[in-house]
Amino acid sequence: MTPAECVARHDDIDLQLLYFTSTSLSSDGRALVAIGQRDGNPNLFRVDLASGALAQLTQNSEGWLRSYVYFDGTPYKGFGKASVSFDAARGVLYYLQGRDIRAVDLEGTERVLAQLPDNQVTAFTHVSADGRLLCVPTTDEAAFTEDEAWKEKHHGIDARVRRLGLNSWLRVYSTQTGEEVLCEPVPHAWVTHVQFSPVDSRRILYNHEWPSDCGIRRVWLWDGASHIRLREEGAGRSRRDWTCHEMWERDGSAVIYHGLYSDGGAYIGRARFDGAEPAEIRLPPSWVRYGHFTVGPDETMLVSDGYYQGGPEDESRNSPWISRLDVDWAGGRVRWRVLGRSESSWDSQDSHPHPITDAAGRHVYFTSDKDGKRAIYRLPAQQERPVADVSFGAP
Q: Residue 126, Cα to own-chain centre: how many angstroms?
A: 10
Q: What is the per-residue pLDDT across 18-35, written as a single tens digit (0 to 9) for each?
A: 999 999 999 999 999 999
pLDDT higher than 70, residue 148? no
* Residues 376, 15: Cα–Cα separation, whole Å: 7
* pLDDT for the residue 146: 62
Q: Does residue 165 fall inside a structural domain? A: yes
Q: Does residue 121 fall inside a structural domain? A: yes
Q: What is the per-residue pLDDT across 79-129, written as a single tens digit (0 to 9) for each?
A: 999 999 999 999 999 999 999 999 999 999 999 999 999 999 999 999 999
Query: What phi and psi, each to the nearest 5 degrees, are found at residue 245?
Result: 50, 50
Domain count, the chain: 1
Q: Does residue 51 fall inside a structural domain? A: no
pLDDT higher than 70, residue 72? yes
Q: Does residue 243 fall inside a structural domain? A: no
Spatial contact of 302 and 293, defined as CB atoms under 8 Å apart = yes
pLDDT higher than 70, residue 174? yes
Strands (E), 197-332: 204-207, 219-222, 227-229, 242-248, 254-260, 266-272, 279-282, 293-295, 301-304, 321-328
Average pLDDT for 173-177: 98
* pLDDT for the residue 152: 66
266-300 burial, b at 16+ Cβ within 10 Å, e below that, comes to bbbbbbbeeeeebbbbbbbeebebbbbbbbbeebe
* pLDDT for the residue 316: 73
Q: Label residue 150 by pLDDT band (50, 70, 90).
A: low
Average pLDDT for 142-147: 76
Q: Label residue 147 by pLDDT band (50, 70, 90).
A: low
Q: Does residue 179 fall inside a structural domain? A: yes
Q: Does residue 197 fall inside a structural domain? A: no
* pLDDT for the residue 156: 84
Q: Does residue 292 fall inside a structural domain? A: no
Residue type, 231: R
pLDDT higher than 70, residue 153? no
Q: Does residue 331 fall inside a structural domain? A: no
What residue numbers bound the domain in which 163 lies?
58-192
* pLDDT for the residue 355: 98
> Interior CA angle at 328 toward 264 and 284, to 5°?
25
* pLDDT for the residue 328: 97
